[in-house]
Structure 1
Amino acid sequence: MDVDRLLPTPEAADLIALVREIADKELAPRVDRHEAAETYPEGLFATLGEAGLLGLPYPEEHGGGGQPYEVYLQVLEELATRWAAVAVATSVHTLACHPLHSFGTAAQQERWLPDMLEGRVIGGYSLSEPQAGSDAAALSCKAERTEDGDYRVTGNKAWITHGGKAGFYSLFARTGPGSHGISCFLAPGETEGLSFGKPERKMGLQAVPTTSAHWDGAVLEADRLIGAEGQGLQIAFSALDSGRLGIAACATGLAQAALNSAVDYANQRTTFGRKIIDHQGLGFLLADMAAAVDAARATCLDAARRRDLGRPFSRQASAAKLIATDAAMKVTTDAVQVLGGYGYTRDFPVERYMREAKIMQIFEGTNQIQRLVISRQLTQADA
């Protein structure tokens, strides 16, 4: 069932209608096959790019869609309701475009940004390392100056969505000591000396690879540095709140998909001469699921509207990520319960939804990190 959305403009309503049409035509018929076979949907992201869906929250003058975050998040949600892996990869691509858009020079933006925002190349975000996940200041991958003024990159990165498939990576590497010694680079996907590990054997989101990367003395030209040397953590952290909202929207869409499946099943299955949705115990369970999805959506949109107004939204972004992803885990688990034994089989999608929901509580900062962010801001408010 389609969500009854409150959208800010008629243009936004038209966009959502377009997204639903594309998602129903291009995503829904393919998701089960690719997720089961763990195969990449070749050409799908090009289709999304041609439709203008891969640069929505960025300015039109650079090839973006010029949409407020309030609308962009609801597009992500619609995609996630059909295919969570595609929505997550779209969110990561948007995150990967942020450093160049917000910190690149005019020349860099003119050279690279249109292809990125128009979806002709897909981006990956390369911040985490095997021993540096939530602790970004502990990065060890190095970018050292060469005699020619370029950068030679050596080290390992981890947990890269679209690893080996992306056309560019926003790479964070160490150029000096301490937390102020990390820099950001726009690295081409075909860089000589860059190789990728086998895709991780994940619990869910199987159709889009997540890999490690090995930089074996690969050389990046000097103009691939985004911002100033040592500005990397500032660049990375400036995008985290927005990235968390993207994952919160994906989690909300996933929860909506699980709710839809559970309601459809409960309206068809009968026991003791009645539809199972008419049994109060099950009806109340579905009601709690619907309330959780509504609460997740409302929390996401509240944070997005604050962002669109230029107001602080860090605490609200962490709350949205925490609430939406916890809701997705509970709603998908309850959806399996509604379907009973059938929910535990791969004949129905709810078991996949449950597996996909778990990662939502982990990436873009674990939910424990979100609680830390929220609690620290509460302490600051009392000071």
Structure 2
Amino acid sequence: MAKLQLKNIRKEYNSKTVPIKDLSVDVDDGEFLTFVGPSGCGKSTTLRLIAGLEEPTKGEVIINGETMNAVPPGERNVSMVFQSYALYPHMRVAENIASPLKIRKTPEGEIEQRISEVVQKLDLEKSLLDRKPRQLSGGQRQRVAVARALVREPEVFLLDEPLSNLDALLREQVRAELKQIFKSQNKPVVYVTHDQTEAMTLSTRIALLYDGVLQQLDTPYQIYNYPANSFVAGFMGSPQMNLMTVNCKGQKAMLGDFGITLPELSEIPSQIVLGIRPEDVHLATETDEEVVTGKVILVEDLGKEQLLTVQVEGGTDKQLRSLIPADQSWNSDQVHLALPVHSRHWFDVERGNRLS
């Protein structure tokens, strides 16, 4: 049974450049953990620390109970798929796939057998095996890079934005294939991406980083529905969650001219951050309470849906976005929006922490 552990990992290049700050994460057999976050948050550095391409300033990288800090990359028994695929341009596809086995001096008969198994698993045409990487499409190169990782049968799989060079349609197709492939491996998988759709669809758990600090580690469902802070709330989800700093007046949060009932809090602050996802903001009906009124200032047609940006009455800097069905009609001068109680999120203004 394989297990990857990161214990209190810190990486410093100098006193001002600290991409990873006290990171602790466990990844078990069969788990697909995705590190996600904005550029420069430390996710690719974390992957390189696991692979041994860089050494942590502090903390431990542990695989199967053994500390790897002093173990060279080639002896860690991990496989890594790079963003650029990192295929050897002078080698044929078959030679690229076989390269990690030849380094380990695996017998030729076993090499041929493993290549045959992985080519079949990835649905790679056998005619491609004699080609050079420059003769392949982006999707084919990506499959070859994954095949090279699989053929080694490592203890841990590492993938650094492997789909970023593919077009949108191919990315969706390969994403589904990757999920099936790595599910069957039953080994720890650590995936890095800035694409939240990839993170949500592929992962059993997501680790969201910002400025080298772990913001939340949880299932895609929990992160989407119960974000730990306003950064997580704003980063995960497309279109982005509505996040507005509003004044509190009694038991109400004032959104423009309209009072929104606050949750039960031990102490009511002077200001609070109200969050609600555009798909949860709908055109009000007669049964809705606490309706917000405003003027539509922008309409974005998304095909089966339309995204309305509404200027709230009495709030010069308060705008709400609402995602409604494309065939739903609305008044261009004034719309009434409902913000369901169960869909509201509340965050602290100073630290951004979730309040309820």
Greater radius of gyration (CA): 2
Normalised TM-score (structure 2): 0.27
Normalised TM-score (structure 1): 0.26
Q: Give the strand-richer structure, 1 or 2.
A: 2
Q: Give the helix-richer structure, 1 or 2.
A: 1
